[in-house]
Amino acid sequence: MAIAGLDIGSVATKCVVVDDGRIIGAALVRTGTDTEKAATRALADALQQARLERAVLEKIVSTGYGRRQCGLADRVITEISAAGAGAFRMNGRRPGLVVDIGGQDTKVIEINGEGSVSDFLMNDKCAAGTGRFLELMAQVLETDMEGFSQLARSAEAPRRLNATCSVFAESEVVSLIAHGESKTNIAAGLFEAVASRVAAMLRQFQEQPVFFCGGGARSPALRLALERLAGRPVQVLDPPQFVVAFGAAMLPDGV
Amino acid sequence: MKPRRRITLSRRIIQLACLILLVYGGYLFKGRLAGQEANVGEPPGTGGSLFPDLKAPKGAMSTTQFAPGSILWPSGATPVLENYPPTLVCRFNPKGGLFKACIVHFFSENFTWQTHLKYLLPHLTLFVLLCFLLGRFWCGWVCPIGSLGDLLSWLRRRMNVPVRRFPAGFRNALVFSSYGLLGATLGISTFIGLPNYSRFQCYWFLPYCQICPARLVCPVFGLIKPGWKDFTNGVSATFTLLAWLVLGLFVAAFYWGRRVWCHLCPVGLVNSWFNRGAGLELHKKAVKCNKCGYCADACPMGLTAMYEADTDRKYNQNGCIMCLRCLEVCPKDGCLSCRFFGRRVLESRY
Amino acid sequence: MKKHQDQGGLKPEYASILDGFYRGLAPSGLSPDYRAETEVYRRRSRLASAGRLYESLMSASGVAAGPRVGYFCNLVPEELIRACGAVPVRLCELDHACARLGEEVLPGDACPMIKSICGSAAAGRYRDLDLLVIPAACDGKAKLSELLAPVRPVYLLDLPRSSEYLRNADAWTGRYQDFFDFLKERFRSRAGRSELTAECRRANLRTQLFRRLYHFRAGHPGLINHFDYFTLVSLSFRLEPEAWLDLAGEILAEAVGRAEGLKFDGRRILLAGSPIIFPAYKVLDILYEFNCEAVADSLCSGYGHLYDPVEIDEETETGIIRALALKYLAASLCPCFMGLNKLLDLLVDTTAEYRLDGVIYHDLRLCQVFDMQTVAIRQVLKEKRIPFLSIKTDLGREDTGQLKTRIEAFLEMLG
């Protein structure tokens, strides 16, 4: 029987349909202001991809920031447990640390040998150092996320930035551009600023393999910056954005 | 059961009972023991000197005779079990006192008389045994002088006079001095026991006893005329003056400073050597400690090791008189405990 | 009249300027209304006697008559105030509306409690008090002694900021003695030993009942829920000990009577960190939603305030004042005074003793001190295998969603 995992994030709503431990359908839509609508659409898209009827689904598990605003779900769990379970399933059942950089928050989750969460850390309520921050900075540099990442990869000397608060960082970036600093160095600096915050969170835990997921994991520049600053290899789980939704779908029958 | 307050209450009762027993017990029990008291000399203070007949009775040192119901006749006097529990009350109270010697008296006397070790062995064994069982328990629960001192402290508190807290350095200096006192006492006692110097025995016998506060205090309680003003010659006069001085110190120490005196007392010193190995142990569970300092504040001996401790183990210190006041005031349940050979007897509980 | 050195204050000229400014901030005053909240918590309680508890929040009964002395923190010995015939009222508060008003005097990122106090003062809520006593517990409180001076006369209780008994016991006793002398002079009291002893006895009766209640809650979670508990403790800030005993005794008696066969299937945690005072129950609300009970705490507004007895060793006046100093400064849990050793010991020990599921560290951004020790606590508890969650929040309710995610995930993690 198929199970749908719905991850209603602050920026995007992800849905996967899982049958027998395999993803048979996945969809991603912008969350916007109406979570219910976004969830319904994501579910419909994923079902269409899986070529399944809604009635066939055994259950729908919702997670993410809007998990309780969604009337579709049969079960609700937090994105932290879901991310842990999803990452454990996707990385070949290895314990380690899961870095999840989402739109609104950044988490580091420690999973043990049984695949359950043994500890986690989250950033503060401010959006500094999250995916949203990177999106905003891409806008300031007049590019999209992909271009932003490419800019950073061709940097010669990443420019260190002092601010990670979106508002202050924006004015810092603007003034750096005015002073003639190259966009590539600024872009690399911005990735390093985010990565250094994550690396600091990682250092709160013992040395373990690091797995990377969430929207932020799509950016190779961020992964490289994180590897350099954390001083250890970082494995991106594929597909990074669906790890949480996948975990939500997998959790009901245990990890 | 809540040991709160009950420890101090029991201690006061025991102290009072011991005070009565040790000071007046003789009147209660002596009659029955009369047959065994054959060799007791004249009570002191009756002659011109403090110690009218200082020499041990002839043959005392070699006597091996057994009296009915006793183990030995040491130094030609009374039987061991009555005579020498760890430290005993004073020879200055021979009539009323059930017991007649403290450990310092015991050593001084027998060093002078050069009593053969085998005759002392029963006393020593009993002394050491009790010390191994209870450590310096004597000072806090039994010692009549200490009890009288506690009474002085109580008077001070009633009169709303704050206690003086002396720094650790001062207390250590007192302990250091007590070694001096003990050393001098035993040294002099040994010296005057040498054949060529026995002439000094008349005035130098039991040198510590002659300045001990008990010399002036005990006879009063024992309803005996005390040797308050023995100015027979220079030596006696000096001893008498010293005794008065020491009594003043004693009163001052107890009045202002709780048990400050006990740091200086050579009897306490000998007892304190057994504290660390005693069967009676004080333990601390460090994780439960909230560092309130109640234990250190309430300690009459001013000890702080229990407060400072941050590992779980036994904290028997030399200065500890086993009054268990720390355990009583500790506000954290199960933080401090008292064990007897590893068995938990009491623990702090609010 | 003897001028006391550590009496806080401002020159009359500056004070009147500041007073004029305060009066302009909230000309019509500010009287927060919590009837709705009270009703919610009353309904959540499982005890019938809780009705009286929440009524007491709104009423002034149980408060003695006499000159009223407002004070802050649990470093001020209420026994001294009571002994002098005055009525101590602890003013610690966490009120969002007052804090917002306070932001017009203080920076926005200042401690919410200080903002709240400052707002209350500016709104004239302290004008019926005779004296304010402010301990120099933290920098914020020390400065507050000047900022509140225009409102009411202030006594700054300056204390060496360390809970190390050996080093500071004499200094604390001296400061408390000065404070007592000041109070006696101010309220023309001839209080001495007997008054002090009587007050300590009253306070200890409260401690005894509190301990029974605290212990009972750990063994029978959910019956006296954490709202009832924290409300009860908040009430001790101003109720006379007897009135408090009456209230708490009734609650405990009812709870004990109903404890038989009661099952609790939720989680029991220890709540550490910043104080929790009615109506700032945001975190408690979330815990309640997920069937999790805060059965133990290390808060200066909870356990730290009532758990330790006054232990009079020397029944002289100085001795009693010293005993009070030890209770309030060495035994109690003011986070600015309390060493990390003591906090960690308490967390490890309480968790083990009551077999709690974990520790939640509630950081109200009260001051940097709380934040500074988070990592140390996290690392030690991790080593001790005690689940630990740190949450940073403030008085506003806008981050409820994020807090829920963290707390729910933490509870899921506990299994």
Which residues of chain B lie closer than 8 angstroms to C320, CB-CB?
Answer: none
Which residue segment(s) compose the domain that C272 sits in?
A: 12-30+62-189+265-414
Residue C109 domain-assigned (yes or no): yes
CB A119, CB A84: distance < 8 Å: no
pTM, to two decimals? 0.88
Residue B191 domain-assigned (yes or no): yes
Residue C19 domain-assigned (yes or no): yes
- The size of the B-C interface in CB pairs under 8 A is 81
Residue B53 domain-assigned (yes or no): no
Is there a single domain that holds both residue B132 and residue B65?
yes
Whichever domain contains B312, its CATH number is 3.30.70
pLDDT tens, residue by residue, C82-103: 999 999 999 999 999 999 999 9
Residue B44 domain-assigned (yes or no): no
Is there a single domain that holds both residue B105 and residue B227?
no
CA B129/CA B275 separation, integer angstroms = 12
Structural domains for chain A: 1-91+237-255 (3.30.420.40), 95-236 (3.30.420.40)
Interface list for A 184-243 with C (CB within 8 A): 204
Shortest CA distance to C346 belongs to which of C386, C319, C312, C314?
A: C386
Pair of tokens at residue B4:
């709160």
Higher pLDDT pick, B202 / C363: C363
pLDDT tens, residue by residue, A191-246: 998 898 899 899 989 889 999 999 889 899 999 999 999 999 999 998 899 999 99
Please determine, for residue B236, whether its predicted confidence score (pLDDT) is greater than 90. Answer: no
Write the CB contacts of A55 (distance below 8 Å, at least 6 apart in sequence): none
Sheet holding C131-135, edge to edge: C87-90, C68-71, C131-135, C154-157
Output the pLDDT for position C175. 94
Burial class (CB in 10 A: 0-12, 13-18, 19+), C33: exposed
Please determine, for residue C255, whether its predicted confidence score (pLDDT) is greater than 90. Answer: yes
Is there a single domain that holds both residue B254 and residue B283?
no
Radius of gyration of chain C (CA): 21
A177-206: buried (b, 16+ CB within 10 Å) or exposed (e) per residue? Answer: eeeeebbbbbbbbbbbbbbbbbbebbeebe
Interface list for A 71-130 with C (CB within 8 A): 77-81, 105, 116-120, 122, 124-125
Residue B153 domain-assigned (yes or no): yes
- Assign B338 to helix, strand or coil: strand
Whichever domain contains C339, its CATH number is 3.40.50.11900
Residue of C nearest to B300 (CA): C313
Residue B304 domain-assigned (yes or no): yes
Asked if C413 has any chain A CB less than 8 Å from its own CB, the reply is yes
Residue C234 domain-assigned (yes or no): no
Is there a single domain that holds both residue B247 and residue B294?
no
* Residues of B at the C interface, defined by Cβ within 8 angstroms: 156-157, 160-163, 165, 286-294, 296-298, 304, 307-308, 310, 325, 329, 331, 350
Number of domains in chain C: 1
Number of domains in chain B: 3
Which residues of chain A lie closer than 8 angstroms to C415, CB-CB?
Answer: 116
Q: Tell me which H or E stretch contains A4.
A: strand A2-8
Residue C38 domain-assigned (yes or no): no
Residue C48 domain-assigned (yes or no): no
Pair of tokens at residue C23:
């009066």
Which residues of chain B lie closer than 8 angstroms to C325, CB-CB?
Answer: none
Output the pLDDT for position C137. 85
The whole-number average pLDDT for the span C46-72 is 89
B157/C315 Cβ within 8 A = yes
Residue of C nearest to A126 (CA): C399
CA A62/CA A199 separation, integer angstroms = 29
Residue in this structure with the two tokens 């007592």, named with its chain if needed: C180
ipTM: 0.89
Residue C76 domain-assigned (yes or no): yes
**How many CB atoms neighbour CB B62 within 10 A?**
11
Output the pLDDT for position C283. 94
Output the pLDDT for position C163. 81
Last residue of a domain, one of B112, B137, B162: B137
Torsion of CA B136, B140, B141, B145, to 10 degrees: 110
Q: Which of B8, B156, B163, B292 has the highest number of chain C CBs within 10 A, making it the mutation to test binding with C?
A: B292
For chains C and A, tell me whether 3 or more CB atom pairs sit within 8 A of each other.
yes
> Which DSSP letter does residue A55 get?
G
β-sheet bridge partners, residue C294: C269
Which residues of chain A lie closer than 8 angstroms to C381, CB-CB?
Answer: none
Pair of tokens at residue B307:
């407060």
Nearest chain A CA: its distance from C214 CA (Å): 29
For chains B and A, tell me whether 3 or more CB atom pairs sit within 8 A of each other.
no
CA B273/CA B138 separation, integer angstroms = 13
Amino acid at A231: G
Residue B1 domain-assigned (yes or no): no
Please determine, for residue B253, whether its predicted confidence score (pLDDT) is greater than 50. Answer: yes
At A255, the pLDDT band (50, 70, 90 cuts) reads very low
Residue of A nearest to C393 (CA): A125
Nearest chain B CA: its distance from C412 CA (Å): 29
Residue C106 domain-assigned (yes or no): yes
Last residue of a domain, one of B251, B272, B293: B272
C382/A125 Cβ within 8 A = no
The whole-number average pLDDT for the span B209-214 is 84
Residue of A nearest to C392 (CA): A124
**Helix axes of B234-257 and B213-221: crossing angle, nearest 10 degrees:** 80
At B43, the pLDDT band (50, 70, 90 cuts) reads very low
A81/C409 Cβ within 8 A = yes
Which residue segment(s) compose the domain that B151 sits in?
A: 142-272
Measured CA to CA in angstroms, residue A53 lies from A56, A62, C214 at distances of 5, 18, 55
Last residue of a domain, one of B86, B117, B137: B137
Residue B255 domain-assigned (yes or no): yes
CA B223/CA B187 separation, integer angstroms = 32
Residue C7 domain-assigned (yes or no): no
